[in-house]
């Protein structure tokens, strides 16, 4: 009797102690995840070219040369984030996936602009840095034709290049969440904020030179404030025992926290020429005096659109398709957000295979 009553009295107490122990362990894990960096961008690569802060990397092939695709692939990411999201973590990396599918993969990393780069504009990125990187890339691979994949502002730069240099070997162009058409001013927070008469991009650039990464990061997070400032941490806490989800969260958070400034002149151009005046679609955009005509774009185009994208709403990418000069063009809509369609858990079953199939048919 006595033993039974002692046991029943102790069991709840032991349970409480166990729960506290578990909670303390979870708090320690939570703190560690918030204060440390995950190992990201681990796929082996060689630096093959540099110019100012820009670096061109070639990833080490993962398949023998024989079954490899003849047309190499150049990846271009946005200018205000690090490109590591393309190679997030081993086992869940777009770069790794494409290498295994037999592509010769290169990455152009724009680098982190310093105060001396405040005058870098889309003119420089499109007509100075990118052509030079491509020249080196063609020299190394020996391939005169190549494929290019641009994501976010990287897709904008890729589109500008494709329209201005249609004869320089670009065969296939993959655009991911490409912000190109800003005619709908009410589409998404950025469009509305940037188009507002009170928003003065010139003043921001005059003040800061380069636009601080913290300001860009805060702006992006304010598009969905509760999800970004609260929800992400609540989700982490709820899934803290799930090793797979925790490691995915940690990798993504490491990338999100790695914020960089944006070159002032490019920011001014993005707000004034693109968001406010929609010059690319209106046909009034010139880079270094050369008019940009989307009808000149002759590469095959795959335009991948995220249906729940709050940064680049689908209308900013989709309507522009009719303006491209190429006959071989396709839109692929994917369920997911701006980053999730390429770095989310489902990307390797949805977006990546589609890109591979589309490119493979045009890469030999």
Q: Which two tokens stand for residue 45?
A: 């690569």
- Using CB under 8 A as the binding rule, whether residue 218 contacts another protein is answered as no
- Using CB under 8 A as the binding rule, whether residue 346 contacts another protein is answered as no
Residue 239 vs 296, nearer CB to another protein: 239
- Using CB under 8 A as the binding rule, whether residue 336 contacts another protein is answered as no
Residue 324 vs 340, nearer CB to another protein: 340
Q: Which one among 23, 234, 330, 361 touches another protein, defined by CB under 8 A? A: 234
- Using CB under 8 A as the binding rule, whether residue 52 contacts another protein is answered as yes
Q: Which one among 193, 314, 318, 360 touches another protein, defined by CB under 8 A? A: 193
Q: Which one among 37, 196, 214, 328 touches another protein, defined by CB under 8 A? A: 196
The 8 Å CB, 24+ separation contacts for 283-289 are 287/122, 287/123, 287/126, 287/127, 287/160, 287/164, 288/123, 288/127
Q: In what order do the strands lie in the sheet with 73-76?
A: 45-51, 54-59, 105-109, 73-76, 146-151, 170-176, 300-306, 329-334
Q: Do the beta carbons of residue 85 and residue 339 sit within 8 Å?
A: yes
The region of 84-92, 139-147, 153-161, 331-339 touching another protein under the rule CB under 8 A is 139-147
The kind and range of the H/E element at 46 are strand 45-51
Q: Which one among 14, 36, 60, 295 touches another protein, defined by CB under 8 A? A: 60
Q: Do the beta carbons of residue 169 and residue 146 sit within 8 Å?
A: yes
What is the radius of gyration, based on Cα positions, of the chain? 23
Q: Considering only residues 82 through 101, tell me which ones interact with another protein, judged by CB under 8 A.
A: none
Residue 233's alpha-carbon distances to 23, 24, 182, 229, 240, in angstroms, are 15, 17, 33, 8, 10
Q: CA neighbours within 13 Å on the CB side: how many for 122?
A: 26
The region of 25-33, 49-57, 176-184, 280-288 touching another protein under the rule CB under 8 A is 49-57
The region of 75-83, 112-120, 162-170, 272-280 touching another protein under the rule CB under 8 A is 112-120
Active site residue 17: no
The 8-class DSSP code of residue 89 comes to B
Residue 144 vs 357, nearer CB to another protein: 144
CB of 359 to another protein, least distance (A): 19
CB of 283 to another protein, least distance (A): 27
Say how many residues touch another protein, by CB under 8 A.
49
Report CA dihedral (195, 290, 55, 339) to the nearest 10 degrees: 30
Q: Which residues pair with 148 in a beta bridge?
A: 74, 173
CB of 324 to another protein, least distance (A): 29
- Using CB under 8 A as the binding rule, whether residue 204 contacts another protein is answered as yes
Question: Where in the sequence numbering do the catalytic residues fall?
Answer: 152
Q: Which residues bind another protein (CB under 8 A)?
A: 46, 50-52, 58, 60-61, 65, 114-116, 128, 132, 135-136, 138-144, 188-189, 192-193, 195-200, 203-204, 206-207, 222-227, 230-231, 234-235, 238-239, 310
């Amino acid at each position: 009797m006595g033993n039974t009553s002692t046991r029943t009295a102790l069991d709840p107490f032991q349970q409480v102690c166990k729960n506290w122990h578990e909670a303390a362990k979870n708090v320690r894990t939570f703190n560690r995840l918030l204060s440390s960096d995950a190992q990201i961008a681990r796929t082996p690569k060689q630096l093959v070219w540099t110019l100012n802060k820009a670096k061109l990397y070639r990833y080490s092939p993962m398949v023998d040369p024989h079954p490899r695709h003849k047309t190499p692939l150049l990846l271009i990411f946005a200018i205000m984030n690090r490109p590591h999201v393309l190679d997030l973590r081993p086992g869940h990396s777009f770069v790794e996936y494409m290498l295994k599918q037999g592509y010769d993969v290169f990455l152009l990393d724009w680098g982190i602009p310093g105060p001396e780069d405040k005058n870098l504009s889309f003119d420089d990125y499109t007509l100075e840095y990118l052509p030079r990187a491509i020249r080196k890339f063609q020299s190394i691979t020996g391939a005169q034709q190549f494929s290019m994949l641009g994501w976010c502002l990287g897709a904008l730069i890729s589109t500008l290049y494709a329209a201005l240099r249609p004869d320089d070997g670009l065969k296939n162009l993959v655009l991911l969440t490409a912000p190109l058409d800003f005619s709908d001013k009410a589409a998404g927070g950025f469009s509305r904020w940037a188009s507002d008469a009170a928003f003065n991009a010139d003043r921001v650039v005059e003040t800061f030179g380069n636009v601080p990464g913290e300001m860009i990061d805060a702006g992006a997070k304010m598009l969905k404030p509760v999800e970004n400032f609260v929800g992400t941490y609540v989700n982490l806490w709820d899934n803290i025992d799930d090793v797979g989800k925790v490691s995915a969260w940690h990798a993504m958070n490491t990338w999100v926290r790695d914020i960089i400034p944006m070159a002032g002149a490019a920011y001014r151009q993005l707000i004034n020429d693109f968001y406010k005046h929609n010059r690319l679609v209106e046909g009034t955009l010139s880079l270094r005096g050369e008019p940009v005509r989307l009808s000149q774009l002759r590469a095959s185009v795959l335009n991948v659109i995220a249906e729940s994208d709050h940064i680049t709403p689908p209308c900013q990418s989709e309507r522009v398709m009719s303006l491209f000069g190429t006959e071989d063009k396709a839109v692929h809509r994917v369920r997911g957000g701006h980053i999730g369609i390429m770095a989310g858990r489902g990307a390797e079953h949805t977006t990546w295979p589609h890109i591979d199939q589309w490119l493979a048919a045009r890469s030999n």
